[in-house]
Amino acid sequence: MSLIRALHQQLIDQEISAVAVAQASLARIEAVDDRLKSFLQVTAPQAIAQAEKVDAQIAAGEPIGLLAGIPIGIKDNLCTKGIVTTCASQILRGFVPPYESTVTEKLQKAGAVMVGKTNLDEFAMGSSTENSGYQVTANPWDLTRVPGGSSGGSAAAVAADECLIALGSDTGGSIRQPASLCGVVGMKPTYGLVSRFGLVAYASSLDQIGPFARRVEDAAILLQAIAGHDSRDSTSLDVPIPDYTQALKPDLKGVKVGVIMDAFGEGLDDTVNEAVQTAIAKLRELGATIEEIHCPRFRSGIAAYYVIAPSEASANLARYDAVRYGLRAEADNLMEMYTHTRAKGFGAEVKRRIMLGTYALSAGYYDAYYLKAQKVRTLIKQDFDQAFTKVDVLVCPTAPTTAFKAGEKTDDPLSMYLSDLMTIPVNLAGLPAMSVPCGFDDNNLPIGLQLVGNVLGEEMLFRVGYAYEQATTWHDRQPDLSA
């Protein structure tokens, strides 16, 4: 059952107060976060104040929404007015935005209780949350392992029950891959479905905000609250938002599922492969027809992505120049102010991507790199378009492996980049996708199944994810953090 609905019922029945719920969440953070380091900042006073408002509404007999009083973690690349927002970068240490992101504004109005800002790879660049400029987040299932990234803080926080739900952002898999590695539901909506206003840009044409939850229905409820057109984001889609929970059904009769064959092969762990194959069999049992699908350019996604995303990032991050806000290093002149500040304020991975992007866009290289990558992007999109003429939803593993050891890949960027092999093509095509828990390996580490939908195919994703969840028990397992 939806954990949000259960808590909501308790709140309106006044079995528990919103303040008590918030306090429980804060207490859990207090108890486990010195080991997990999911949160960069805990916003206890604001959380209690928001919870008190919800309690006042309940006491006054006013109707409250499903998210009212629900504790939520917010990835620290979402701007929160009056609350420090750092993107886990030293260059934004102490930065207080004078504006609220559209998604957090919507959540505030819905009565959701933000308990803190979660850790991430600096500027959302990474797949392990080890690139944070402040702290390394641990995987709740094995504290020596990474939670995935870049939204590792949000994924770990939800997995460890520090908050019921969380928001992340996904540029190349930054929601789905950590969801997979932490054993929770993580969803990246269709590009443009959720406003990016207030999301600190990494790669603007790929970034999307999405939900983390422990149940598919909860992810649907959270997406419902943040989706919709925003006049402050010119790339936001002006489309009606359906009631996603209406799409949830226990069976998959008549649903055509395609298996992305190109995702299976070199680099894929056997245990992950087995778990995913078992999950596919389960979908068939639920009434779906299964078809093999070929997306020939699927594996080219990673190469295209590591040209396009760094190119956009190199421009997006140019604004951190010490002139108006953020870190300003000691310098004797303008050029030194720029170089010293950026040398000191950015971490190694951010610098690497800025250099990659600057190079790819330079005169004489543009056609060979940026333009070519955009062509590949178009071809990948065409592969998906072709696939969706035959099937309703595509499946493949979310990540090729389960959680790896902290430090294992930090010196090998290419191997780190490969952990996003399955998720990246989806961002390039602007499609919605979701990771749902589908098993555990021998080390009791979670495995995720990736469902990929057609443009604005969120309802189908939720339907398939929900039916699968109802027929399995993976989501019932929780990491043991009692030690």
**Residue 351 falls in the annotated catalytic set:** no
Dihedral sign, Cα of residue 455, residue 377, residue 153, residue 339 = negative
Q: Rounded CA gap, 156 and 341, in Å?
A: 31
CB nearer to other proteins: pick between 5 and 381: 381
- Of 470, 433, 458, 455, the closest CA to residue 247 belongs to 458
CB nearer to other proteins: pick between 6 and 334: 334
Q: Rounded CA gap, 29 and 163, in Å?
A: 8
Question: Alpha helices of 13-84 — where are they, by DSSP H?
Answer: 18-36, 44-59
Residue 232 Cβ, how far from other proteins at the closest point, in Å? 6
Residue 316 Cβ, how far from other proteins at the closest point, in Å? 8
Residue 357 Cβ, how far from other proteins at the closest point, in Å? 9
Residues lying near other proteins in the complex (CB under 8 A) are found at 77-79, 85, 87, 92, 95, 97-99, 101, 196-201, 203-205, 231-235, 311-312, 314-315, 318-319, 321, 323-325, 334, 338, 358, 361-363, 366, 370
Identified catalytic residue from 53, 75, 106, 188: 75
CB nearer to other proteins: pick between 324 and 480: 324
Q: Rounded CA gap, 448 and 117, in Å?
A: 25
**CA separation (Å) from 338 to 72, 318, 344, 420?**
37, 10, 10, 32
Identified catalytic residue from 174, 180, 311, 419: 174
Residue the block writes with tokens 């979670």? 446
Burial 367-393 (b: 16+ CB within 10 A, else e): eebbeebbebbebbbebbeebbeebbb
Residue 437 Cβ, how far from other proteins at the closest point, in Å? 31
Query: With contact defined as beta carbons under 8 Å apart, do 148 and 127 qualify?
Result: yes
CB nearer to other proteins: pick between 153 and 310: 310
Residue 375 Cβ, how far from other proteins at the closest point, in Å? 14
Query: With contact defined as beta carbons under 8 Å apart, do 129 and 177 qualify?
Result: no
Q: What is the separation, in whole angstroms, between the first and last Cα of the chain? A: 28
**Residue 409 falls in the annotated catalytic set:** no
Identified catalytic residue from 150, 151, 314, 435: 150
Q: Rounded CA gap, 228 and 106, in Å?
A: 10
Residue 364 Cβ, how far from other proteins at the closest point, in Å? 9
**Residue 75 falls in the annotated catalytic set:** yes
Residue 113 Cβ, how far from other proteins at the closest point, in Å? 22
CB nearer to other proteins: pick between 131 and 398: 131
- Of 242, 300, 270, 251, the closest CA to residue 457 belongs to 242
CB nearer to other proteins: pick between 321 and 441: 321
**CA separation (Å) from 394 to 260, 275, 301, 383?**
6, 16, 16, 12
Strands 71-75 and 165-170: parallel
**CA separation (Å) from 402 to 48, 142, 161?**
36, 11, 20
CB nearer to other proteins: pick between 60 and 324: 324
User: How far is CA 186 from its chain centroid?
Assistant: 6
Residues taking part in catalysis: 75, 150, 174
